[in-house]
Homo-oligomer: A and B are copies of this chain.
Amino acid sequence: MTDKYTTLVNQGVGKTIAKRLGLPQPAVLRRFKPGQPLVTGPVLVQGNTAGADELAAKLLSWDLDVRRHAVPREKLGAIILVLDELTRPEDLEKPVLSAAASLRDLGPSARVITISRPAAETASPAQSAARQGVDGFLRSLAKELRAGATANGIVLAEGVQSTSPSALAALRFFLSGRSAFVDGQFLTVATERGHLPPDFEKPLAGKVAVVTGAARGIGAAIARTLHRDGATLVLVDIPAAGDHLAAVANEVRGTALQLDISSPDAGQRIIDHAVQRHGRLDIVIHNAGITRDKLLANMDHGRWASVLNINIAAQLRINEALLASEHFRNSPRIVSVASTSGIAGNRGQTNYAASKGGVMGMVRASAPLLAVNGGTINAVAPGFIETDMTARIPFAVREVGRRLNSLQQGGQPSDVAEAIAFLASDAAGGINGDVLRICGQNLVGA
């Protein structure tokens, strides 16, 4: 799964040569496998608030090695910095310098996770400054960590506890190998909704999930991951992808639905198929998308309209059908695949970036509509992911795209799939209208 270069510079002679020449030495990332421990060593919980105490107690109940103070020279799996009661910028120093003193003890693929509050939700300039300061701090730290370690943050809306279901679920996601390629990012827990699963290895047990564009690449990885997590699957792709679709469906013991998602009745056909074949519909993953790259000066109707139609207009129509259906009202989940191109733009992708920006706008505006039935809608924004599509990019451009992030490598389709599986779970019920980047903290242009 890891690209050839990363394999080469992590073993034997290749490692020595890369070191001598000062070449990038991307680490082999820790990725989740069933049965694997959540984290690779003791977890240091720093911060003197009630939230920190409660969180430490909760982690102990999960049989983790929890430390409230650093033990000299002990290798750590993670540092959790609880910053949920900041009132002014000066409050940052003590917890931050305590964490600094333990940074050298972090093992490979370790984690630093902040827990803070939203800057937008306070009327005090000093408190807002302290809270937004966490953002600048964490994104800098993510650029300093090495050996596959990452830094990410959980932002608890005012009144949400550090031990609320989605806060704990987000913490588990960030601690685990599921978040291997997520770096320098924040997840916001907006409400106390959601509940932790009886079995953390099967968080989607009993759920019926639809994945569009499931015949290959990221879509197929999503199908495999949701299946591993216990979901029953409906796999959608265009008729031309029929053989690949059937193979994936067979592999994950799901059903295949050949369908052009841009047809006017696509939403109803998805609902009918799921209900008739599997008796229910809980989760829809909007993964299908196309690119038709061209500089804007050479853009034509065909390229513009097809990308906008497939990537956003079709999702809007399908969501309308879902929201109108009585079969999609029991804590439903929608997760859409956006792109860092939609956030920062990309040369040659005005059409694609408009459509993926559109996905994020749609997700934010749809969140209250889903919340009515205890549901959520969120997006993931992948950066450079190693797929057949990116394999066709010319070598030099591909190498730049791959290395220009804090982890110095491209992500795997499974990295996108893991984030989607997390957002689709019951435990993530307090996360709604959010966008999570899966990009290794890609330098995409602000």
Contact = CB atoms under 8 A, between A and B. Distances in A.
Interface of A: 88-90, 92-93, 96-97, 99-100, 103-104, 119-120, 122-144, 184, 295-301, 304-305, 308-309, 312-313, 316, 319, 340-350, 352-362, 364-366, 368-369, 404-406, 437, 439, 441-446
A89 B132 contact: no
A131 B358 CA distance: 7
Q: Which 9 residue pairs of A and B lie closest in terms of their CB atoms, listed nearest first?
A: A139-B345, A132-B361, A136-B357, A136-B353, A128-B365, A140-B345, A129-B358, A128-B361, A133-B358
Question: Number of copies of this chain in the oligomer?
Answer: 2
Given A316-B125, A365-B128, A368-B123, A139 B296 contact: no
A96 B350 contact: yes
Contact of A134 (B88, B129, B354, B362): B354
Nearest to A105: B297
A369 to B, nearest CB: 7
B365 A127 contact: yes
Contact of A446 (B124, B128, B140, B344): B344
Given A136-B358, A299-B97, A445-B406, A143 B312 contact: no
A109 B349 CA distance: 22
Nearest to A295: B144
A133 B361 contact: yes
Given A89-B308, A136-B342, A445 B348 contact: no
B353 A140 contact: yes
Contacts of A138: 345
Contact of A136 (B99, B347, B356, B404): B356
B103 A296 contact: yes
A446 B340 contact: yes
A360 B441 contact: no
A354 B133 contact: yes
Contacts of A406: 445
A354 B100 contact: no
B144 A304 contact: no
Contact of A443 (B361, B364, B444): B444
Given A136-B342, A443-B445, 4 more contacts: A122-B365, A129-B358, A132-B342, A132-B358
B360 A132 contact: yes
Contacts of A296: 96, 99-100, 103, 140-141, 144
A147 to B, nearest CB: 13
